[in-house]
């Protein structure tokens, strides 16, 4: 293959005439894009043609379905911190991205989607493969824009990357008509650094910080909860210094996991519906609640009318629309988490809250005795999700990137995986997208090729995007897939058991022979159902050089506890079905 | 407490922004009572004036969501008593009715309305005012049969002496300068 461009990395300093499609690829290269997940089709063919010459600079991953492309871009972005990029054609190609865009929007993941569009003269004529993707994606993108002439390309792409990655990140969609791809322009690329109608982050108000510090310094029972904002702003070290200086116990939201290493003595675990016991009940016992980079999702708060009413609430958050949205705050500090915590660290006093921390530890012990011990060292013959997850992180020194699908597999992984590296946890939080796992794991491996990537997925979720085994096989991508198979849509079944009188309405699901299926894709695999076989099989999976699929047959009717039932109060966090 | 609020948004004059703004209301199942979009005093910047009947908490949430849109410069909300506002209404009545009695003429005088056009068949009357006022004239004229009637969306200005947008643009310039200085 001959490439006509040798000095592609260097953007031209003077305007150079070229096609819109070449300008598109050059713009992406100028933004540092090294991986694109996509699927070609009629309306994006000129861009794919231009891409053909850029093979040495940009890796294109051909997925099997556009939903796979966007979830892969999400996985890539979450582990690498870079903007994930995907390509799709017009019409069905573009609409197949929608679920992933919505997922990236609610989970603040920086993504740029480029979709082809019919020639501008055909817009609005119901042309072949025409869909109004700008209209469709409007409520679920941070920004979107349709390019209809080639001259708009560099500026639109520069804005797209700036908007996607800055402030509270999110997905951006750029729709480009076929004539804009074919047309010529004088290309010169300039990065976007400012948009007058958009302030990505406000400068931290020092007076408010002082007010927050005073509350923290006077608190007897301070408690810090954090979300993905810590990871997104790169505030892991600042968070660590803060808690070590102040001695304040902390807990994380589902998306904040891995920002602080799991075995830190002040890390009390996860908040929320299936979070840990202590973090939930202590929310309603603390006197000062410091929330950083999180949005008080209903899965975290339960009933907001009974949430932390006794506490002064400090909220450090980059998005002004999140302030007082769900929980009224006493001190709201707008701005970047890293910067704010760094400043706060200079104002807070060194302390130890030994008694208060002990209260957490006692609650932790209670959860351990009633729940964790049964999950990790079960006495019954059936395998538990918890023991499978914990074994995998034990065998990888807590360094693996853990990706999950949605449901019981996700909650078991969130509860029992251990981490000592940041950005090692990829899951679909806000949208709860089943089918997210397999493609996201694929993207995560591209984003962190040096790390072991292990996916936990249910027998339901994997069948939603199972076609991506084809992509994994074609790329010989060493993703380790663990299917936690209980022959049920487990989480729905759990709710049916607990709240719908065990009426298992359409939650029994049959599966193909996953090992044979993997084999058909050229992916080795094994299936285990016996505890004695689990560790050798897990080791074989981890030692595999390429992709590997391990099916683990799980106890069929296991439940995830603790649980704060939907709309319940966090202080009534149930440790078992008997407490219902 | 539900009451009328006037939401004002200053935005870039970009395609699709009307849609982006209105879906914020749709998503929350909030009905827009009135909507006016036009160019503001500053070229290239549009002004949206939206009237809704809602509780304050929801209004605050909506305004924040509007302001979060990339192409929106600033959004405000006000209660009716905080703003001076007007609507314009046009009424078409049969000219015959005007000729037959002096009542229509009296109504036009009393309501501070004016006549825009008279033809053999019809007369067009214009009235600006609050909705109750334009409605009152409608009810009066309708005794003679209003042939056509149209009312505009609301336009409103604050009681503060200067355009808040100019103030805001100055603040934002200062903010960007500060941020750039920090970045360097």
Which residues span the domain enclosing A329? 206-359
Residue A9 lies in a domain: no
- Position A2 scores a pLDDT of 41
Q: Looking at the structure, do residues A343 and A437 belong to the same domain, yes or no?
A: no
Task: Enumerate residues 6+ apart whose C-beta is below 8 A from B36.
Answer: B48, B49, B50, B152, B153, B154, B155
Q: Looking at the structure, do residues A179 and A213 belong to the same domain, yes or no?
A: no
Residues of A in contact with B182 (CB under 8 A): 203
CA-nearest of A168, A167, A170, A159 to A194 is: A159
- Report how far Cα B174 is from the mean position of its chain's Cα atoms: 30
Mean per-residue pLDDT of chain A: 96
Residue B38 lies in a domain: yes
Mean pLDDT of A486-499: 96
Residue B105 lies in a domain: no
Confidence grade of residue A148 (pLDDT, cut at 50, 70, 90): very high
Higher pLDDT, B36 or A9: B36
Distance from the B45 Cα atom to the nearest Cα atom in chain A, whole angstroms:
10
Cβ atoms A141, A105 nearer than 8 A: yes
Residue A259 lies in a domain: yes
Residue A578 lies in a domain: no
Residue A473 lies in a domain: yes
* pLDDT at B184 > cutoff 70: no
Find the distance separating the first CA and the last CA of chain A, reported in whole Å.
66
- Position B97 scores a pLDDT of 93
Distance from the B44 Cα atom to the nearest Cα atom in chain A, whole angstroms:
12
- Position A580 scores a pLDDT of 86
Q: Looking at the structure, do residues A441 and A404 belong to the same domain, yes or no?
A: yes
Does residue B73 belong to the interface with chain A, where contact is any CB pair within 8 Å? yes
Mean pLDDT of A123-150: 98
Confidence grade of residue B170 (pLDDT, cut at 50, 70, 90): confident
* A174-211 confidence digits (pLDDT tens): 999 999 999 999 999 999 999 999 999 999 999 999 99
Residue B40 lies in a domain: yes
Beta bridge partners of A219: none
Does residue B168 belong to the interface with chain A, where contact is any CB pair within 8 Å? no
Whether cis (ω within 30° of 0) applies to the bond prior to A562 is yes
- Position B171 scores a pLDDT of 87
Q: What is the DSSP letter of A554?
A: B
Mean pLDDT of A144-171: 98
> Does B64 contact A143 at a Cβ distance shorter than 8 Å?
no
Residues of B in contact with A203 (CB under 8 A): 175, 178-179, 182
> Does B73 contact A197 at a Cβ distance shorter than 8 Å?
yes
Does residue A328 belong to the interface with chain B, where contact is any CB pair within 8 Å? no
Residue B156 lies in a domain: no
Cβ atoms A271, A298 nearer than 8 A: no
Residue A353 lies in a domain: yes
Q: Looking at the structure, do residues A180 and A211 belong to the same domain, yes or no?
A: no
Confidence grade of residue A405 (pLDDT, cut at 50, 70, 90): very high
Q: What is the CATH number of the domain that holds B70?
A: 3.30.70.260
Give the best residue of A135, A321, A326 to mutate against chain B (max B CB count within 10 A): A321
Which residues span the domain enclosing B25? 3-83
Q: Looking at the structure, do residues A336 and A420 belong to the same domain, yes or no?
A: no
Q: Looking at the structure, do residues A402 and A523 belong to the same domain, yes or no?
A: yes
> Does B71 contact A194 at a Cβ distance shorter than 8 Å?
no
Does residue B174 belong to the interface with chain A, where contact is any CB pair within 8 Å? no
Residue A233 lies in a domain: yes
The rounded distance, in Å, linking the Cα atoms of A481 and A462 is 10
Which of A134, A194, A202 is opposite residue B16, by nearest beta carbon?
Answer: A134
Residue A199 lies in a domain: no
Residue A7 lies in a domain: no
* A215-241 confidence digits (pLDDT tens): 999 999 999 999 999 999 999 999 999
Minimum Cα–Cα distance from A147: chain B residue: B15
Q: What is the CATH number of the domain that holds A44?
A: 3.40.50.970
Confidence grade of residue A384 (pLDDT, cut at 50, 70, 90): very high
- Position A1 scores a pLDDT of 42
Could you tell me what percent of chain A has a pLDDT over 90?
97
Does residue B61 belong to the interface with chain A, where contact is any CB pair within 8 Å? yes
The rounded distance, in Å, linking the Cα atoms of A6 and A10 is 9
Does residue A320 belong to the interface with chain B, where contact is any CB pair within 8 Å? yes
* B63-89 confidence digits (pLDDT tens): 999 999 999 999 999 999 999 999 999
ipTM score over 0.90, yes or no: yes
Mean per-residue pLDDT of chain B: 94
Tokens representing residue B109 in the block: 């005088």
Q: Looking at the structure, do residues A172 and A212 belong to the same domain, yes or no?
A: no
Q: Is A543 helix (H, G, I), strand (E, B) or coil?
A: helix
Does residue B176 belong to the interface with chain A, where contact is any CB pair within 8 Å? yes
Q: Looking at the structure, do residues A289 and A210 belong to the same domain, yes or no?
A: yes
Confidence grade of residue A9 (pLDDT, cut at 50, 70, 90): low
Q: State how many domains chain A has.
A: 3
Active site residues of A: 66, 128-129, 178, 491
Tokens representing residue A449 in the block: 């090729």
Q: Looking at the structure, do residues A495 and A526 belong to the same domain, yes or no?
A: yes
Distance from the A135 Cα atom to the nearest Cα atom in chain B, whole angstroms:
8
Q: What is the largest CA-CA distance in chain B?
A: 78
> Does A198 contact B16 at a Cβ distance shorter than 8 Å?
no
Q: What is the DSSP letter of B152?
A: P
Minimum Cα–Cα distance from B74: chain A residue: A197
Task: Enumerate residues 6+ apart whose C-beta is below 8 A from A527.
Answer: A514, A515, A550, A551, A552, A553
Q: Looking at the structure, do residues A152 and A277 belong to the same domain, yes or no?
A: no
Q: State how many domains chain B has.
A: 1
* pLDDT at A52 > cutoff 80: yes
Q: Looking at the structure, do residues A118 and A217 belong to the same domain, yes or no?
A: no
Residue B37 lies in a domain: yes
Give the best residue of B20, B22, B46, B70 to mutate against chain A (max A CB count within 10 A): B70
Mean pLDDT of A144-152: 98
Q: Looking at the structure, do residues A486 and A522 belong to the same domain, yes or no?
A: yes
Does residue B60 belong to the interface with chain A, where contact is any CB pair within 8 Å? yes
Find the distance separating the first CA and the last CA of chain B, reported in whole Å.
48
């Amino acid at each position: 293959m001959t490439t006509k461009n040798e000095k592609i990395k260097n953007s031209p300093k003077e305007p150079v005439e070229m096609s819109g499609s070449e300008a598109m690829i050059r713009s992406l290269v100028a933004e540092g894009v090294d991986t694109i997940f996509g699927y070609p089709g009629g309306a994006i063919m000129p861009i794919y043609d231009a891409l053909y010459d850029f093979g040495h600079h940009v890796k294109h991953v051909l997925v099997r379905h556009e939903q796979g492309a966007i979830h892969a871009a999400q996985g890539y972005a979450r582990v690498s911190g870079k903007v994930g990029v995907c390509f799709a054609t017009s019409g069905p190609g573009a609409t197949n991205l929608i679920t992933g865009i919505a997922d990236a929007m609610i989970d603040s993941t920086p993504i740029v989607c480029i979709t082809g569009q019919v020639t501008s003269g055909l817009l609005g004529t119901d042309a072949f493969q025409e869909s109004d993707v700008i209209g469709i994606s409007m409520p679920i993108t941070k920004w979107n824009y349709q390019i209809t002439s080639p001259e708009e390309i560099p500026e639109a792409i520069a804005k797209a990357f700036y908007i996607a990655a800055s402030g509270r990140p999110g997905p951006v969609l750029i729709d480009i008509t076929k004539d804009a791809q074919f047309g010529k322009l004088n290309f010169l690329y300039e990065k976007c650094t400012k948009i007058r109608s958009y302030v990505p982050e406000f400068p931290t108000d020092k007076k408010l910080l002082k007010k927050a510090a005073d509350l923290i310094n006077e608190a007897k029972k301070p408690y810090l909860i954090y979300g993905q904002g810590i990871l997104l702003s790169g505030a892991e070290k600042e968070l660590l210094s803060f808690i070590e200086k102040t001695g304040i116990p902390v807990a994380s939201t589902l998306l904040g996991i891995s920002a602080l290493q799991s075995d830190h003595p002040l890390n009390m675990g996860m908040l929320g519906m299936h979070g840990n016991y202590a973090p939930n009940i202590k929310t309603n016992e603390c006197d000062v609640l410091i929330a950083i980079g999180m949005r008080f999702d209903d899965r975290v708060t339960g009933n907001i009318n009974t949430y932390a009413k006794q506490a002064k609430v400090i909220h450090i958050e980059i998005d002004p629309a999140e302030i007082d949205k769900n929980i009224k705050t006493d001190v709201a500090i707008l701005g970047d988490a890293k910067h704010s915590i760094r400043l706060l660290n200079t104002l807070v006093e060194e302390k130890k809250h030994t008694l208060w921390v002990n209260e957490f530890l006692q609650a932790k012990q209670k959860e351990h005795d009633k729940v964790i011990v049964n999950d990790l060292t079960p006495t019954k013959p059936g395998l538990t999700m918890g023991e499978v997850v914990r074994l995998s992180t034990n065998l990888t020194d807590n360094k693996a990137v853990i990706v999950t699908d949605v449901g019981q597999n996700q909650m078991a992984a969130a509860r029992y995986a251990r981490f000592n590296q940041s950005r090692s946890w990829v899951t679909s939080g806000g949208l709860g997208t089943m089918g997210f796992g397999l493609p996201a794991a694929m993207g995560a491996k591209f984003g962190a090729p040096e790390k072991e990537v292990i996916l936990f997925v249910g027998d339901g979720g994997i069948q939603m995007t199972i076609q991506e085994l084809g992509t994994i096989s074609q790329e010989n991508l060493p993703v380790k897939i663990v299917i936690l198979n209980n022959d049920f849509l487990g989480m729905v079944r759990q709710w049916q058991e607990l709240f719908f009188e065990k009426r298992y309405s359409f939650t029994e699901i049959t599966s193909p022979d996953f090992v044979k299926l993997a084999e058909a894709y050229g992916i080795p695999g094994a299936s285990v159902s016996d505890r004695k076989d689990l560790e050798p099989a897990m080791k074989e999976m981890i030692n595999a050089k390429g992709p590997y699929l391990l099916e683990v047959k799980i106890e069929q009717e296991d439940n995830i506890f603790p649980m704060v039932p939907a709309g319940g109060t966090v202080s009534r966090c149930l440790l078992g079905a008997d407490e219902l | 407490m539900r009451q009328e609020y006037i939401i004002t948004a200053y935005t870039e004059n970009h395609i699709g922004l009307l849609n982006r703004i209105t879906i914020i209301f749709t998503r929350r199942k909030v009905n827009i009572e009135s909507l006016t979009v036009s160019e503001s005093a500053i070229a290239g910047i549009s002004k949206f004036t939206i009237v809704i009947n809602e509780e304050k908490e929801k209004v605050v949430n909506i305004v924040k969501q509007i302001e979060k849109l990339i192409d929106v410069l600033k959004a405000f909300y006000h209660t009716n008593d905080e703003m001076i506002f007007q609507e314009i209404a046009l009424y078409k009545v049969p000219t015959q009715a005007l000729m037959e009695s002096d009542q229509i003429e009296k109504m036009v005088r009393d309501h501070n309305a004016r006549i825009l056009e008279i033809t053999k068949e019809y007369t067009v009357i214009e009235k600006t005012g609050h909705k109750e006022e334009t409605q009152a004239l409608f009810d009066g004229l309708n005794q003679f049969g209003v042939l056509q009637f149209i009312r505009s969306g609301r336009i409103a200005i604050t009681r503060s002496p200067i355009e808040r947008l100019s103030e805001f643009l100055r603040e934002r310039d200062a903010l960007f300068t500060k941020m750039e200085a920090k970045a360097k």
